[in-house]
Amino acid sequence: MEHIRTTKVEQVKLLDRFSTSNKSLTGTLYLTATHLLFIDSSQRETWILHHHIAAVEKLPLTTSGCPLVIQCKNFRIVHFVVPRERDCHDIYNSLLQLSRTAKYEELYAFSYNPKQNESEQVKGWQLIDLAEEYKRMGVPNANWQLSDANRDYKICETYPRELYVPRTASKPIIVGSSKFRSKGRFPVLSYYHKNKEAAICRCSQPLSGFSARCLEDEHMLQAISKANPSNRYMYVMDTRPKLNAMANRAAGKGYENEDNYSNIRFQFVGIENIHVMRSSLQKLLEVSGTKGLSVNDFLSGLENSGWLRHIKAVLDAAVFLVKAIAVESASVLVHCSDGWDRTSQVCSLGALLLDSYYRTIKGFMVLIEKDWISFGHKFSDRCGQLDGDPKEISPVFTQFLECVWNLTEQFPQAFEYNEAFLLQIHEHVHSCQFGNFLGNCQKEREELKLKEKTYSLWPFLLEEQKKYQNPLYNPDFFPGLSLLEPNTVSFNFKFWRNMYHQFDRSMHPRQSVFNLIMTMSEQNKQLEEEIKELEAKIKRRSGQSAAVLVKEHQQPAHPAPTALKTPPCFKKEQPLIPVNDAVRTIEGSNTADNRYSEFVEEFSKSEPAVVSLEYGVARMTC
Amino acid sequence: MEECLNIASSIEALSTLDSVTLMYPFFYRPMFEIVEDGWRSFMPDQEFELLSSVTDEWRLSCINKEFSVCPSYPPVVIVPKSIDDEALRKVAMFRHGSRFPVLSYYHKKNGMVMMRSSQPLTGTNGRRCKEDEKLINATLRPGKRGYIIDTRSLNVAQQARAKGGGFEQEAHYPQWRRIHKCIERFNILQESLIKLVEACNDQSHNMDRWLSKLEASNWLTHIKEILTAACLAAQCIDREGASVLVHGTEGTDSTLQVTSLAQIILDPRCRTICGFESLVVREWLQAGHPFQQRCAQSAYSNSKQKWEAPVFLLFLDCVWQILRQFPCSFEFNEQFLIMLFEHAYASQFGTFLGNNESERSKLKLPQKTMSLWSWVNRSEELSKFQNPLFEANSLVIWPSVAPQSLQLWEGVFLRWNRPSKFLDEAQEEMISIIKYNKELQAKVNALRRQLAEMETDDRMQENL
């Protein structure tokens, strides 16, 4: 690689992010074509994918070297001190180049080789089949059909080829409606609720300006409402704040005029735009990254960032949508401006609340493929996969995952997947290691030949799904189309520490109940197996040996009287399955740990005067 | 309407009884069999017996037998062996409310100790007391230094001198380093609780309002302050290998928060049910935390009672925070802490009545009322309070005090405001997984044993 000048730097220090003293690990830094790797003196490895790097910063030279701060899209922040400024400069420049890719073909996914053969690769891409998914929902049916209008991406470039529309929506209606909608994104089916016969549809804003109307678009909406035999009224949800929508009218866009459309109820739900969300996250990260943060600074920073307010707004919108469908059996048309950010959030969360399938591991993959990937959420732009307009970057998908996490907290038994699954998906949305999230729409993905040149993420996640299973999941808890009704009073929304501080282990609970339960339920399966095996063996043996023994094994749980004869091999019993101990080990409580000095820092923060103890390792305030 | 007013005034009167002896514990008759009298479950001499098995540097002093030296101390206290009762009497004169330094905790690992007392009465002219200096120096190893953790800010401590109080002057206590860790007291805490409860009861959907109210309550700030001070004390003892003296003004509130939490951090025994009960008895009841004054009307006290303050609740909240971070290291669960919170404020048992041991003995509580521990320590009740994840952990547990690691104690503050059905069911599911795991392990062990026996029997037969 022409960008790499220095591949290895020794004696590099990795500083603790929240430490006020210069606590650090010393090790060697390696630069590869795809990763930055740090190996500390105890051989622990820290891998940072170049694509994960959001920003690299060189701080002013200090006595111990040249500090280099790397912020990652997965919220990892590392602070290196490189002894020689020249090395630091080289690495800095290389990383700047490596983290800013100009062409899709240079992304990791195109060079990543997971040792799969071609047929496995093809099979991997076939794992999620959206036609199959619409069939599962119950379409096509008497009221809804597959339209071939966009088969060649002629009507809308950012939509998928296969779209489902009401049977009564003829091609001229579709074409006319698409001309009246921003980017040609006309109303199409996103989710069909079998029991209520109601639909979630999605589109972009109408080009209504102050007074324009379009008969085909009006017919399109009418067709949607007619496709629902249980309720002729339909809701049109504009997920933007009213002010924003009104401002759009000046640019010839806008929102539906209730007078022009029959049987619609129009509603604004007020989710802010991508720019507000971007700066909100920035503020949140600034606050959470502060050293020696006080409780009140944290809470007021959390408030000022507005982040939780936005999360709540997104979930509130989904709850509104779900109520329309579940309570009134009414169909809902959702849009924002272009219909690929807020619309994706609200439609997918709505479906997740309505349909338990999306609360399974496979179903969640399908949901993301459908409402995010196929309907053209601009992953490439929003995640900054290529070096482009920074104003296009926005944590819209992260917010979706955070809403789901909040739901898993409220309904611990309703989801087959766990937090680690959400975190892993977030990781790979930014990693560019798999083809799924590359590009901005299906058309672009086809042009890139992603299915031939890259691999799909989903089979890899399925392969290690044990890691992502929620041990408390109970599919009978909310079976089939049973509705989740989350409580959205403010105090239910919490700061997602495991996302924004996932790499700051010192802030996590020292023992994880979740991991423990996960290992236990895994262990339970093994034990059940073993019991079967043992029982079979005993049966076989007792068949052979005398009848006396048969009696004994009928009460296998109480072998007490025979315990005296126990042969020496029984010592094996104690560590039945050692995994358990590993989970219970307490991080940071052994003698080798460094938390001690960390505490001293905590203490010294609030006090003005810091005095060193003459004999102490510690610095305390006196 | 009139009936309603009558009921209201009756409730008002009944919930603010003037006389302790009219309270429920004096009329309550237990419907269960008493296995062990809780009034006798945690006696100081048992505690001392444990101590004397590891060190002989301490003695049990009966100087306060008739509560004559210090009205808020128990009849017997543990003090350094080298200090006689005469000296103690002099030290008592030098300490606020006569609360002379006594042993709070002995760290077996390195023999370091934690003592607690009230502020020294140095006044503006810097009075000193040789016996006091001798007493606290007696806890130091030769050549070693100790830490005095003053739970007031330096400013407050300095102002206390004008009222006859004060702090240990470096000149007179050269072997001690003083650290000021400000923990708030009285009405500041009470207001904090009132604001917090008000915020939690606000069902409006506004996120900004919720967060700013939560912030304005300062509750979590107090939690962080208290935990930080306790960690500091624990750190001095365990990591610095130094002895510690903790005091604030009276030594009955913030002092006890710090000494008891430090023990939770340091001593695995305090994380068991019995050990925690013993801790509450030693460090709160016998140590003279004025429960009657502090825990009267809780957050809804409208009469602005001057002495009301959620000191004990804050302590329990801090324990809950540590429990959340070390969910496998405690024998008890969240319900146990909530139960203690409830009984501290209103109970059919006499345990938390009165302000100190002297008052309790005057009220003849052990004779006239039932002890909470008699009820709790029966296996039927205990099973509700056991943590299924518990696995004894002999290590010191250092909690994180970063704001991102601290949480609102929903089990107490949002208890009536949020539906907990799904959380409770998840909890039950978790317990059943653990139970099932234990059953399976037992079964596998039994089967393995059986199989091995069959094998040996076979071999023996072959040998025959």
Rg (CA), chain A: 29
Strand partners, A58: A68
Residue A441 confidence class, pLDDT cut points 50, 70, 90: very high
Any CB–CB contact under 8 A between A452 and chain B? no
Q: Tokens 């094998």 belong to which residue?
A: B455
What is the torsional sign of CA A568, A571, A573, A577? Answer: negative
Residues A159, A135: Cα–Cα separation, whole Å? 19
pLDDT value at residue B41: 86
- Kindly state the helix (H) or strand (E) to which residue B3 belongs, with its residue range: helix B2-15
Half-sphere exposure of B318 (CA within 13 A, CB side): 31
User: Residues 523-552, chain A: which have Cβ within 8 Å of B?
Assistant: 523-524, 527-528, 530-531, 534-535, 537-538, 541-542, 545, 549, 552
pLDDT value at residue A538: 87
pLDDT value at residue A189: 98
Instruction: Choose the closest CB to A557 out of B395, B400, B443.
Output: B443
User: pLDDT tens digits for B76-93?
Assistant: 999 999 999 999 999 999
pLDDT at B375 over 70: yes
pLDDT at A497 over 60: yes
Nearest to A554 by CA among A533, A570, A539: A539
A352-389 burial: b if 16+ Cβ within 10 Å, else e = bbbbbbbbbbbbbbbbbbbbbbbbbbbbbbbbbbbeee
Residue A569 among the catalytic residues: no
pLDDT value at residue A619: 31
**pLDDT top residue among A549 and B437:** B437
Strand order of the sheet with strand B176-180? B102-107, B112-116, B244-247, B146-150, B176-180
CB contact under 8 A, B446 and A495: no
Nearest CA in chain B to A489: B205
Residue B210 confidence class, pLDDT cut points 50, 70, 90: very high
pLDDT value at residue A21: 62
Question: Of the listed A156, A336, A383, A432, which one is catalytic?
Answer: A336
User: Is the backbone of residue A28 left (phi > 0), alpha (psi -120 to 50) or beta?
Assistant: beta
Q: Collect all residues of chain A within an 8 Å Cβ-Cβ radius of residue B325.
A: 509-511
User: pLDDT tens digits for B161-189?
Assistant: 999 999 999 999 999 999 999 999 888 99
Instruction: Choose the closest CB to B205 out of A474, A489, A590.
Output: A489
pLDDT value at residue A622: 30
User: pLDDT tens digits for A257-306?
Assistant: 999 999 999 999 999 999 999 999 999 999 999 988 999 999 999 999 99
pLDDT value at residue A556: 40
CB contact under 8 A, B327 and A513: yes
Enter the DSSP assignment of B243: -
User: pLDDT tens digits for A179-226?
Assistant: 999 999 999 999 999 999 999 999 999 999 999 999 999 999 999 999
Peptide bond into A140 cis (omega under 30): yes
Nearest CA in chain B to A603: B228
pLDDT value at residue A545: 59
User: Residues 478-507, chain A: which have Cβ within 8 Å of B?
Assistant: 487-495, 497, 501, 506-507
pTM for the whole thing? Answer: 0.90
Nearest to B74 by CA among B56, B47, B55: B47
Residues A444, A436: Cα–Cα separation, whole Å? 12
Q: How far is A329 from chain B, CA to nearest CA, in Å?
A: 26
Position B351, amino acid: T
pLDDT value at residue A613: 28
Instruction: Choose the closest CB to B452 out of A474, A545, A567.
Output: A567
For residue B371 the two structure tokens come to: 């002890």
Instruction: Choose the closest CB to A491 out of B200, B329, B395.
Output: B200
Residue A20 confidence class, pLDDT cut points 50, 70, 90: low
Give the mean model confidence (pLDDT) for residues B394-412.
94
Respond yes or no on whether ipTM tops 0.90: yes
Taking CB atoms and an 8 Å cut-off, how many pairs form between chains A and B? 246
Residues B447, A531: Cα–Cα separation, whole Å? 7
Enter the DSSP assignment of B397: -
Q: How far is B153 from chain A, CA to nearest CA, in Å?
A: 10
Q: Annotated binding residues of A for substrate, as ranges?
A: 273-274, 336-342
Q: Collect all residues of chain B within an 8 Å Cβ-Cβ radius of residue A575.
A: none
pLDDT at B464 over 80: no
For residue B25 the two structure tokens come to: 């514990």
CB contact under 8 A, A576 and B444: yes
CB contact under 8 A, A511 and B232: no
Mutate to test the interface with A, among B238, B414, B448, B459 (most CBs of A within 10 A): B448
Q: Collect all residues of chain A within an 8 Å Cβ-Cβ radius of residue B418.
A: 487, 489, 491-492
Strand partners, A334: A202, A237
**Mean pLDDT, all residues of chain B:** 92
Half-sphere exposure of B163 (CA within 13 A, CB side): 10
pLDDT value at residue A307: 98
Using DSSP, how many helices (H) and how many strands (E) does chain A show? Answer: 23, 16
Residues A581, A569: Cα–Cα separation, whole Å? 22
pLDDT at A552 over 50: no
Say what percent of chain A tops pLDDT 90: 76
Give the mean model confidence (pLDDT) for residues A424-450.
97
